[in-house]
Amino acid sequence: MIPDEGLRGMTIQTGGLNGVSWEEKGGSVLLEAEAGVPLAALLALSIKRGWRGLEFVAGIPGSVGGSLRGNAGVEGRALGDLVESVLLIDRKGSPRWKNRKEIQFSYRYSDLLAEHKAVIACRLSLARAGTAEVALRARDFFNKRVGQPKGVRTAGCIFKNPKSGFAGKILEEAGCKGLKVGAAEVSAQHANFIVNNGSANSRDIARLIFICRDRVFEKTGILLDLELCLMGEFLDGEVGH
C-alpha cells in the first residue's frame, strides 16, 4: 500500500510482464511465469494441464512478482517451496537468474529485494497429475477460506500470524472487529482483514492498522508484524518498506 500523496521515486508497473511457458519431462514440469501473471491465471493453467503443486494459491490475490516477494502461501505451503530460479534485473538493466539456493525464503518473507533488484520472472517446479485431481485439491483449499471476506475490497491479511497463535483471533479478542476510520473498517467476518467500504484512502487504512496493532500490544504485549507491505511515509513519519 502506498500513501495517498504517492511515492518519492520511480516505480515499475509489471502488468505487461504476462508471459508463461513450460517444459514437461516425464512426470515433472518446469513452469516459467513473468512477474505480472496473476496467481489465479497460473492456477487455472495448472488445473487445465493437470499440474500438481499450485493448488494452495486458490483464493490468494495478487501476481507472481509480489507473491514471490512476500512468499505467499497457506497452511505451511508457500510459493518459495516451488521455486527453481528467479530472474532479477538491476538498476542498469542487467538481468540475472538467481538459483533457489541463493534465495532466502521464510514465513511471508523473501530476500529477493534486498539487493534493490526487480523481479521479472520465475521458474517453478510442478508435477504432472490429472485435471480432476488438481481441481479437487484447489477447490478444497479455496473452501478452507470460507471464513475470510469475499466480494468486498480488501488487501488480504494485514498482519502475520505470531508464534503464539492466529493474528485474526488475537485481533478479535482485543476487540478490533468493527473498528472504523473513515470508510475503512475491520471486517466483522475476520479481524485480520480491513474492508474498504467505498471511499477509504490509504491514510484511513494505515491509521486503522496502527490502532489495531497498538490495541493488541496494550492488551496482550504482542507486537503484530505486518504482512501487508507499506511503501513510503505514513502516520507521523512512520516509514514503510
* Judgement on whether residues 48 and 131 belong to the same structural domain of the protein: yes
Q: For strands 118-128 and 83-89, give the pairing.
A: antiparallel
CATH number at residue 211: 3.90.78.10
In tens, the pLDDT along 157-212 reads 999 999 999 999 999 999 999 999 999 999 999 999 999 998 999 999 999 999 99
Angle at alpha carbon of residue 137, lines to 52 and 159, rounded to 5°: 95
* Judgement on whether residues 56 and 98 belong to the same structural domain of the protein: yes
Contact 224, 241 (CB under 8 A): no
Residue 241: predicted pLDDT: 44
- Within-domain flag for 155: no
Domain count, the chain: 2
* Judgement on whether residues 34 and 125 belong to the same structural domain of the protein: yes
In tens, the pLDDT along 2-25 reads 898 888 888 888 989 999 999 999
Provide mean pLDDT across the span 56-83: 93
- Within-domain flag for 161: no
* Judgement on whether residues 197 and 111 belong to the same structural domain of the protein: no
User: Which range of residues forms the domain containing residue 85?
Assistant: 20-143
| C-alpha count within 13 angstroms, C-beta hemisphere, residue 212 | 33
* Judgement on whether residues 94 and 208 belong to the same structural domain of the protein: no
